[in-house]
Structure 1
Amino acid sequence: MKGSTVYRSIQQRGLHLGLLPQMAAAVNGATPITLDHDLDALPHAGRRLTVAQFADAVDDLAARLWAAGVRPGEHLVVHKSANADIWMLGAAASRIGAIPVMLSPALDAATVGALIERVGRPTLLTDTRTLQGPQGRQGLDRLPLAGLTRRVLIVAGDHPGAQSLAAWAGAPRVRPVIRPLDEAAVITHTSGTTGLPKLVVHTPRTQGIRLVPQWRLLALMRRKDPVAIHIPFVHSRMVAAMSLALLKELPILLLNDSDPHSIAEQFAAHRPGFVEALPNSLMDWEDLAADPRRPFASVKIFSSTFDAIHPRTMSRLLNSSERPGALFFQIYGQSEVGPAVGRAYFRTSAHKANGRCVGWAMPLGAARVRVVSRDGRPPTQDNPGFIEVAWAGLAKTYFAEQDRYAANRNGAWWRTGDVGYRTRLGCLHMLDREVDMIEGITSSLEVEDVVLGRLPELSELVVVPGPGDEPVPVICTTDDTPLDPARWRAAVTDFPQLAAPVQIPQAELPRTATLKVQRLALADHLHQRRNDPA
């Protein structure tokens, strides 16, 4: 069996997460999967597995969940410390016909409690650290779990009121249960930049369709170089990333630690040819371009989605690669729509690219995109319109919030919440989230792109509305070093409408589970500082 044969089968029958590891093992069971951490649920498995061993581990975990009483059609909330076993446990739940609800470890206990309540007495799968609460945060023990859940499972260890999966090690294996093609198969959540996250329902059909444009991107890799993946294990994007790498028979490096020193060591040891990571992680890794270990020398393709990527970041990473024709492929999309448009950047042009040009419609079988007027006038750079997406890969609904989903849906078209315009050549320019638009600023993201490119000492720049709705640049610097005011003034001469910058430590930036800056929360923080300077 070949990966291409399995891929064609997925296009017809949908992507079933619980079957994927076994299918990949049938393609090439010897392909290696390497981790930079130990698995909480399988502490003795080690950090280097073959795909066959990985598939067997998922089957083992599925048997344990069945022995614990989890059954087809039941919702299993997976919320535990960040670890690759999150993805494996989601696949294990899928394998027995349950519906995994993947909640980020970054969510606070109150938010998790609200989402569990929305699901309606699911089984909760977690770990002792999350129940007790990581340092400085309340744990799930503070919630009335007995009333919110059907049962509480932990991956290992002991905790009052919870059953450990370790107790069912060696449980009899169970035949796979396949979910209907258009019914809920996996539930993930939105970033929560504007409030309580929404629960996004994915089906086997929608998950399979989303692989189409990305399958072609991986076709650019002529060698079977390792694929390094550093994205949240709970995210819908992780389903696609793992599926593609497994079916393409590519060695996989699963990264949990984003610290630049650790990344440099891992990349120097494993020499990936493809890197997929969060935009903010890539930004944090920029300085590794000058590292003597040359961690990015082997990279042929950098890829990112989730959020805006700045031209400075792309340029520095591409120039640190020693591969001919190295490229940075940016995908624009969101959890509800999957990959919508994309664009490749090259080392000779990335530094001068317009970061707001997020790309063109991808090849046949991918999404359609349009920009709809907000006021009856044609959408332009100065009068951006609503960005909408249509294709069969759209998520099915928001769990228990169909009305909220329907409010964004107009027939086949989904309103993303972003605003922008299209150029004469058809390139989609995404200027801002509608809720983040600031009077007098064409695009906050464009300002950030330009100024970050002029001030390498900046590690982050976010423009938000100030107490008087004026555009306030919030800045962070490498090592929190004070910024030279003269250099700032020289860098922002093109943007006289900006207020004086506010510098804060980068650790104080409110972020989502995918490291996006929560702009509304940051704006509220500025208001509080003004009202309570102490």
Structure 2
Amino acid sequence: MLLQRVANRGIRLGTLFERAAARHPTNDITLDHDLDIAPELGRRLTVGTVADLIADLASRLHASGVRPTDRVVVFKSNNFDVTLAACAIARIGAVPVLLSPALDGATVLQLIHRAGRPYLLTDQAKLDHELPESVFADSAGVLLAAGDHPRATALRALPEVPQIAPITMPPEHPTLVTHTSGTTGVPKLAVHTGHTLQARYRPQATVAAMVRQRVPVAIHVSFVHSRLFTALAITLLRGFPLLVLADDDPDRAADLFAAHRPGVLETHPNSFLRWERLIDDPRRPLATVRYFSSTFDAIHPRTVRRMLTASAHPRPIFGQLYGQSEVGPVAARAFTIHRPEDADGRCVGMPFPGMTDLRVVSRDGRRPTAMNPGYIEVRTDGRILTYLGEQQRYDNQRQGSWWRMGDLGYRTRLGCLHLLDREVDEIDGFGSTLAAEDTLLDRLDELIEVIIIPGPDGPPVPVVCTVDDRPLDLTRWASAASTLPPMAAPAQWRLADLPQTATTKIKRLDLAKRLVERGSAAE
């Protein structure tokens, strides 16, 4: 019965807030920032107010020439209105193409070319400082969410426009385009349909149904990631108050949590890592959290333990979802406060029964094991339709009905999936770099990040970041690393200097390149 109820609730981006407002019109949405498209609304809004804002924005987009099936690239300053703009674009039957505000102008131009002369929704700051002049020639029209530009149409400056009724597109039609992390180069554009988003919604909504009490839900997830839309659907359609964070600055997060006391908290693994310091805040900003949720990557065991310890609830739970932009969540694992200290952090859980499936394919004819991992492949209805403009690249990842994740791992006899490395990050003869990083973080409290990358001419190099950038104690380091495979001396960096994706993943290939460049400059 529960699965049937979940299946009957669609995400349907264009009317998501409208349907949520019909059920819970006065439900609160609290932001840690002002909306660029409507700063006068302040930081505490109702779902009804946001639904009206989306309807007005959709009408302004229509008045600017956007029509059903048109693509609209959204590349603007980091703000929750990126997500709201996607809903407005979908409301008139067009297709939002969401690009991270952190991308550079040259990369954005490449992705605009792949989108095939789309409209561009941006702002004055991006036009003045980041985007090349050629975007005007490569776009069907340039629209502004904030600011002014002589060659662009400012949506807020348009006179009153008649409200356009929602346009419902077929569920097999593209409804959203997001991009992959870009850890290995220029991001790929992932095309989602109503069907694929709904398939991702079902397992997540089934798990979320265990949360009975309407407690505030705090979310810090990239505004351009597909995960945010399923999280919003689950939260808003059930009437949970929502807290939305634009960044993961620990001080700002602590202030918001101390004031609003969330019961559910979701963010990226690396953001949880940065929030470990909130445990020492005398206000205990995480005390009311019972449910912690993390997607995207496996999370470090130390971080899980610290989050669970920070909660004052007698039975807190940390839920980890393993997935990918192309397929959504495919496996899950729950941690509790009673979890053994030696639990394997590389274990990312089991597939969702009846919804997702997993297998690990041998690379050499031998059974995949911890010492000889294989290719992780998944099968799910949540798989994207294609990579926009790169069909061959998409086809290369398909193995019949299976999708190769680009990760290496193995399954235990009980079926639990263990993730050991990305294929491109594997270091011959070293073993799992992720497991080694888990070990170092467990043994050295002063570390807030450690990334092991191939050395330019020798053993792997651990790049480390410490609390408040304090100098690393090399004696403690040597002791912590003594049981691990040989590594070069650690290179200490500031966390802010590490190249990151929109979901705070570290770009390991880019970091390795920068490490070589920094070494060459020092010679």
TM-score, reference length from structure 2: 0.97
Distance 1:496 1:18 in 2: 52
Report the number of matched residues.
522
Q: % of aligned pairs identical?
A: 52
Shift of 1:240: 0.9
Give matches, 1:14-163, under 5 Å: 14-133=10-129, 139-140=130-131, 142-163=132-153
- Secondary structure in 2 matching 1:206: helix
- Secondary structure in 1 matching 2:235: helix
Q: CA RMSD in A?
A: 1.5
Deviations 1:123-162 (A, max 9, x none): 00011111112xxxxx11x230222101100013311211
- Secondary structure in 1 matching 2:174: coil
CA contact (8 A) 1:432 1:445 kept: yes
Q: Of 432, 435, 457, which residue of structure 2 is paired with 1:468? A: 457
Deviations 1:308-336 (A, max 9, x none): 31111111111010112101111000000
- Secondary structure in 1 matching 2:39: coil
Give matches, 1:227-306, under 5 Å: 227-306=217-296
Deviations 1:140-186 (A, max 9, x none): 1x230222101100013311211101023531110111122112110
Higher deviation after alignment, 474-483 or 97-106: 474-483
- Secondary structure in 2 matching 1:44: helix
Distance 2:468 2:460 in 1: 25
- Secondary structure in 2 matching 1:94: helix
Higher deviation after alignment, 384-393 or 151-160: 151-160
1:220 and 2:210 aligned = yes
- Secondary structure in 2 matching 1:256: coil
Distance 1:476 1:282 in 2: 15
Shift of 1:469: 5.1
Distance 1:532 1:54 in 2: 50
Which residue of structure 2 lines up, in the alignment, with residue 174 of structure 1? 164
Which residue of structure 1 lines up, in the alignment, with residue 372 of structure 2? 383
Q: Which runs of 5+ in 1 are unaligned?
A: 134-138
CA contact (8 A) 1:341 1:359 kept: yes
Q: Which amino acid aligns with 2:150?
A: P
Shift of 1:258: 1.8
CA contact (8 A) 2:358 2:376 kept: yes
- Secondary structure in 2 matching 1:257: coil
Shift of 1:348: 2.4
Distance 1:210 1:8 in 2: 11
1:446 and 2:435 aligned = yes
Q: Of 141, 155, 173, which residue of structure 2 is paired with 1:165? A: 155
- Secondary structure in 2 matching 1:319: helix
Segments of 4+ moved more than 6 angstroms: 3-6
TM-score, reference length from structure 1: 0.95
Shift of 1:468: 2.1
Distance 1:527 1:443 in 2: 22
CA contact (8 A) 2:219 2:266 kept: yes
Which residue of structure 2 lines up, in the alignment, with residue 410 of structure 1? 399
- Secondary structure in 1 matching 2:40: coil
Deviations 1:353-395 (A, max 9, x none): 211001111233x210110111111111111000001011111
Q: Of 493, 499, 512, which residue of structure 1 is paired with 2:501? A: 512
- Secondary structure in 2 matching 1:432: strand
Which residue of structure 1 lines up, in the alignment, with residue 175 of structure 2? 185
Which residue of structure 2 lines up, in the alignment, with residue 363 of structure 1? 353
Deviations 1:60-99 (A, max 9, x none): 1111111111110100001101111111100000000000
Deviations 1:192-226 (A, max 9, x none): 00000000000000001111111122122121001
- Secondary structure in 2 matching 1:253: strand
CA contact (8 A) 2:330 2:380 kept: no
User: Per the alignment, do residues 234 and 352 of structure 1 end up closer, same or farther by CA in structure 2, a change over 3 Å counting?
Assistant: same
Distance 2:319 2:3 in 1: 22
